[in-house]
Amino acid sequence: MTPPAFIYSPRYAVPIGGHVFPTRKFALTAEILKSCGVFLEPDLPSREELLLAHTPEWTDKILGTIPMTLADQTRAELPFSPEISVAHRLSYSGTILACRRALEDGAGLHVGGGSHHAFADRGEGFCLLNDIAGGILAMLSEGRLRRAAVVDLDVHQGNGTAAIFRGRPEVFTFSMHQEDIYPEAPETSSLDLELPAGCRDRDYLKILEENLPRAFAAKPDLVVYQAGVDAAEDDALGGLRLTPEGLKRRDLLVREACRNFNAPAAVTLGGGYAADVRETARRHARTLLIFAGIEPSIS
């Protein structure tokens, strides 16, 4: 059996002080997975690849050819530095690579990505570049697919992704998230399902199972799964109450839907804010192993 390929760069983990977003989770997730497969490191994307999803002005701010303002950083809720620019650009190209691997092998496993709050012209919510949009638009521009779907199960709505694909009927955006939390002004996805705080496994999985087929109605050639684990019951930035078993069953539902509809899946990590960053990493690793076809044995 060919070992799974995980896409990852050590440069994803950038020290940003006491910031709530734990970039160390990428390295910890990769460490858990190191004995389970091989690793592929993405290259930096070209300016042309960045322009697939982003405006020229925002692209040049990311590249450092025009200044990133304090207002830009405040809106993105991230400090900006050359190291952070490299990390986010590599993550963007990592999802492009994951999409290519998905179309070739059936699954693209990215130990990173899922920056669904980034808009074409700005960053928001810890996200500078929308790698989900970049991956899909790269595949469309290369003629590798005709239709795609985004299945976003992060606890927060994928507002940037929804905005980028507004008016693009070839891309179906599905976002199932908690209501009344960030972002304050949600965008409109192809299908938005808002859940109340406190929603637990039984109700969550029932709603997902009933509605997930709608993302596959147009028979997408590719699914990008934003598999944020911030729907967990102990997450610091979410109010849903999924248990470890609930998260596992959620991932299995998405994997089985992709298989049933013959849609290859590119998996991105998205959010996760457990008090112990090592637990966040274990949750991310479990998701990737499920899509690699490996029964997780992580305690």
Q: Give the catalytic positions in this structure.
A: 117
Distance CA 62, CA 238 (A): 29
Q: Is the bond preceding 183 in cis, omega lying within 30 degrees of 0?
A: yes
Q: Which of 117, 97, 118 is nearest to 108 (CA)?
A: 97
Q: For residue 5, count other CB atoms closer than 10 A to its CB.
A: 18
Give me the count of residues in the chain: 299
Sheet strands side by side (includes 265-268): 38-40, 5-7, 107-110, 265-268, 222-226, 148-152, 171-178, 191-195
Indicate the pairing of strand 265-268 with strand 107-110.
parallel
Distance CA 147, CA 18 (A): 41
Beta bridge partners of 148: 171, 222
Between the two ends of the chain, the Cα-to-Cα distance in Å is: 25
Instruction: Give Cβ neighbours of residue 272 (< 8 Å, ≥ 6 apart).
Output: 22, 25, 228, 229, 230, 232, 235, 280, 283, 284
Distance CA 144, CA 136 (A): 10
Instruction: Give Cβ neighbours of residue 19 (< 8 Å, ≥ 6 apart).
Output: 78, 79
